[in-house]
Chain A
């Protein structure tokens, strides 16, 4: 142990990151600003790759890369309908490394949406939204906050999608904002409020720009800080609950009485040994610095490296300048909305408003529906949970495939050709059927297993696979006129005129 004062400036700056003793590691967390959000010690189970897969860390890293590249792109981008497209052209072709900044911004935006979803899947499947045994734990609310952050991430991505002002952008936003118009009663007002007019124009561009570069990021930053702070307040990863349970079930042996201490008046028992099962000890934990910090550094640097490699490999597309007169065929939303676009193809109200609304509310209310406090931090809770998860996957796959097949082979309008009421078709369509099938899965499994946790696992797994399958169909299997094509079928040639 080196208790001598540090002499060189480098030593003074770096010692918290490479402590030479447990004691220094402890004071590092207390005295360094950058380290203060870490715990003093971290359990070995939390460090294990399988507990968190560092998905949240990766998402945060991507958000930071997005902020940095985004702020630099703001120096070059002009949010005006006359110049927006040409400033993107400049970024792509005239500005040194502009292409890299733009590609990096685009790649990390896609990755951030993907990793936010993956992080949510991990948190759900390990039951980390449960309060557990920690006193005053508010993990359920942190989960709700996380759902809000996912929605913000999607909104950020969606508002950024319009800014290049090319055909891709223009038509994705046309479709997206018209979905808002299918809200009953208020729809057209909501659409015009989003657009700042009756059609996409300068007002829309500046609205989306301000939302994208200031409003949404600042809310997301605030929520991120709150989200991280709550993780510390709630005792770290959910798997720590298992460490605590193990310690409680295996209390340390009480040392034999050998000597009388003057502290007897304060501490119960025969010795000063404090029997606190929550304490992380030398056997089950290590100091955060350097054991957690080096791992985080590795994750952050790998995320950055992979993003840069992907940006060099994949070009960022830029189509012709936005042209309200020509609709590209097929016109598609960003990939993470293509599952919804597939459902929107059955009914705009059900697929575009009701199902996403119910999905977000359903996700947010999971911790309040499932209050069973068992198996925190364990994947699928236990082997029975794993079986229900597999059941959910299989059921979700079959149910989604069934509904899509129904939509393709037996359109509801042909099935009920005598009915003209739009209200009827908004509620009787394959998308509604899928919703009913998923609700039925939850009810049946909770009845059979008498456990809300197993029912949630089955439904959530069905949701994951349904989301993936619909996204795949919308992305790869829908061609011109939104017709269905197998991957091995060639699309008919459609001349695109600009």
Chain B
């Protein structure tokens, strides 16, 4: 056809070869993608992350443990706050161990009156009464969760998907 010299490394055969390899790679990748994507659930049939826990007046002063939610609710006067009972190390449930006497402590630059401390049964992590880890392998303080009052019946609503600061108090 023409006299131009063809580049011997770029023949039709090598081009088609590379194209085939590309297609095989692409189809393997898309197959893998389909499988992996199917394994990531789009719908979770899990309990809701925001739920009512009862009338604020029914909570006794001090600490109450909500077993089914792994949640510690603290009531001081008319103010409430909630601390998660899930250890930040490997997810075991921490136990609240009350002191005989209240203690005034300063943790991470804030004053706090602690009535006890949290202990983890799995790897011995220890947390102050306001959730700050001070011994053992736990990498982070325990989570604080947002509390709200329900519009309809005035019950406490806890939102375990939202983390709040240690200053958070819900005043009823």
- One of B9-17, B23-31, B118-126, B164-172 at the interface: B118-126
Residues 108-121 of B, flagged 1 when their CB comes within 8 A of A and 0 if not, give: 10000000000111
Chain B's nearest CB lies how many Å from the CB of A423?
9
Report yes or no: A329 in contact with B46, Cβ–Cβ below 8 A: no
Rounded to whole angstroms, the CA-CA distance of A203 and B108 in the bound complex is 40
> Closest 3 CB pairs between A and B?
A329-B121, A482-B124, A178-B90
Question: Which residue, B44, B45, B108, B121, has most C-beta atoms of chain A within 10 A?
Answer: B121
Residues 9-35 of A, flagged 1 when their CB comes within 8 A of B and 0 if not, give: 000000000000000000000000000
Rounded to whole angstroms, the CA-CA distance of A325 and B66 in the bound complex is 9
Whether A483 sits at the interface, judged by CB under 8 Å, is yes
Please classify how large the interface on chain A is, using the bins under 10, 10 to 19, 20 to 34, 35 or more. 35 or more
Count of chain B residues with Cβ under 8 Å from any Cβ of A?
28
Report yes or no: B139 in contact with A175, Cβ–Cβ below 8 A: no
Whether B8 sits at the interface, judged by CB under 8 Å, is no
Report yes or no: A193 in contact with B39, Cβ–Cβ below 8 A: yes
Report yes or no: A203 in contact with B93, Cβ–Cβ below 8 A: no
Report yes or no: A178 in contact with B123, Cβ–Cβ below 8 A: no
Chain B's nearest CB lies how many Å from the CB of A84?
17
Report yes or no: B139 in contact with A425, Cβ–Cβ below 8 A: yes
Minimum CB distance partner of A329 in chain B: B121
Report yes or no: B137 in contact with A345, Cβ–Cβ below 8 A: yes
Q: Report B-chain residues with C-beta under 8 Å of the C-beta of A346.
A: 137
Rounded to whole angstroms, the CA-CA distance of A179 and B89 in the bound complex is 8
Residues 404-418 of A, flagged 1 when their CB comes within 8 A of B and 0 if not, give: 000000010110000
Report yes or no: A175 in contact with B140, Cβ–Cβ below 8 A: no
Report yes or no: A480 in contact with B121, Cβ–Cβ below 8 A: yes
Whether A319 sits at the interface, judged by CB under 8 Å, is no
Report yes or no: A179 in contact with B121, Cβ–Cβ below 8 A: no
Q: Report B-chain residues with C-beta under 8 Å of the C-beta of A414.
A: 135
Q: Report A-chain residues with C-beta under 8 Å of the C-beta of B62.
A: none
Report yes or no: A198 in contact with B44, Cβ–Cβ below 8 A: yes
Whether B70 sits at the interface, judged by CB under 8 Å, is yes
**Interface members, chain A 137-156 (any B CB < 8 Å):** none
Report yes or no: B123 in contact with A344, Cβ–Cβ below 8 A: yes
Residues 64-92 of B, flagged 1 when their CB comes within 8 A of A and 0 if not, give: 00011010000000000000000001111
**Interface members, chain A 306-326 (any B CB < 8 Å):** 324-326
Whether A347 sits at the interface, judged by CB under 8 Å, is yes
